[in-house]
Chains A and B, each alone.
Chain A
Amino acid sequence: MSALQWVFIIASLITVGAAVMMVASHRMMHAALWLAVALLGVAVIFVTLEASFFAVVQLLVYIGAILILIVFAIMLTQRSTEAGSRLNSLAWGAAGVAGVIWTALTYVFIRWVVSGTPMQELGASFDDVVLLGKALVDAEGFAVPFEVASVLLLAALIGAVYIAFERKGEGS
């Protein structure tokens, strides 16, 4: 096996292991840290796909922003988090459903023979970031979805502030 395949195998084992630990850990803060490891593993997977831009975005957006938000929320709601069991009564059924889905998909993927389409390695002259940037502001390309996404982000920002804002005479 080539070095790239070994990198992929190690990164995916770390990712899946960290994801399992995230689901299994009792304390929420440990779960958040295991989620960080899993997201880091996914960033390495993006690097093996030659999508270096998305690996950086994964680090900045997921680990830099989303995970910090999650840690903040865990700390703000700390008092009630340690009580009781961490899994509900559906846990065995949920494990069965997830296991069956994964087994069926893996069976399909292993049996699936990719047809012998010739593939060309893209090499170093591979300027995907320039291509993406041009497509996002091109009116023929993806300018409208790009603007809609920015409006969505603005709406989410304002909505989150409005929902989480503490009003007088309510709550404790």
Chain B
Amino acid sequence: MIPLSWYLILSAALFSIGLFAVLARRHAIAILMGIELMLNAVNVNLLAFWHYWSQVKGAPQVNGMVFAAMIFVLAAAETAVALALIISAYRRHHTVVVDEMSLLKG
């Protein structure tokens, strides 16, 4: 049986890599990929806790599964809107590098 802390350490690693991608990459789509990685880390966490809580209770619990399904829905909606925004911004400014999208900077 796999200890719960192994899942948490893996999920923390995925979250940190995603955080680095969000903070450091210049390409807008790379930043979006970092967000996807962070959402996946959250899902690993939720399903790990769901699995062990079900084992403590002795029967499958439904709340954790619904939470994980909601994260999937949110990830899909977020990606669709973000990619539409990126394509729209590319059409106006011919760049997807976030440092160069500085129209509001005064």
CB within 8 Å of B: which residues of A? 2, 4-5, 8, 12, 15-16, 19-20, 22-23, 28, 31-32, 35, 38-39, 42, 45-46, 48-51, 53-54, 57, 61-62, 65-66, 69-70, 72-74, 76-77, 79-81, 83-88, 90-91, 93-95, 97-99, 101-102, 105-106, 109-110, 112, 114, 117-122, 126-128, 131-132, 135-136, 141-142, 145, 149, 152-153, 155-157, 159-161, 163-164, 166, 170-172
- How many pairs of residues, A versus B, come closer than 8 Å at their CB atoms? 247
Q: A98-B16, A106-B12 are in contact. List 16 more A-B contacts (CB 8 A).
A: A31-B33, A38-B40, A70-B29, A70-B83, A80-B95, A81-B27, A86-B27, A88-B24, A88-B25, A97-B20, A102-B12, A105-B8, A132-B69, A141-B66, A153-B77, A160-B81
Residue of A nearest to B18 (CB): A19
CA distance A70 to B32 in the complex (A): 9
Query: Is B103 at the interface (CB under 8 A from chain A)?
Result: no
Residues of chain B in range 41-74 having any CB-CB distance to chain A below 8 Å: 43-44, 47-48, 50-52, 54-56, 58-60, 62, 65-66, 68-70, 72-74
CA distance A101 to B18 in the complex (A): 12
A61 near B85 (CB under 8 angstroms)?
no
Residues of chain B in range 1-29 having any CB-CB distance to chain A below 8 Å: 1-10, 12-21, 23-27, 29
Residue of A nearest to B26 (CB): A88
CB distance from B86 to the nearest CB of A (A): 6
Contacts of A112 in B (CB 8 A): 5
Contacts of A66 in B (CB 8 A): 36, 75-76, 79
Give me the 9 closest cross-chain CB pairs, A-B, nearest first.
Answer: A94-B23, A156-B77, A160-B84, A164-B84, A102-B16, A98-B16, A94-B24, A105-B12, A119-B55
CA distance A99 to B37 in the complex (A): 16
A77 near B65 (CB under 8 angstroms)?
no
Contacts of A20 in B (CB 8 A): 17
How many chain B residues touch A (Cβ–Cβ < 8 Å)? 76
What does DSSP make chain A's interface, helix, strand, loop or mixed?
A: helix
CB within 8 Å of A: which residues of B? 1-10, 12-21, 23-27, 29-30, 32-34, 36-37, 40, 43-44, 47-48, 50-52, 54-56, 58-60, 62, 65-66, 68-70, 72-81, 83-88, 90-92, 94-97, 99
CA distance A83 to B99 in the complex (A): 12
B24 near A90 (CB under 8 angstroms)?
yes
Q: A12-B10, A50-B51, A97-B19 are in contact. Are A152 and B77 (CB under 8 A)?
A: yes
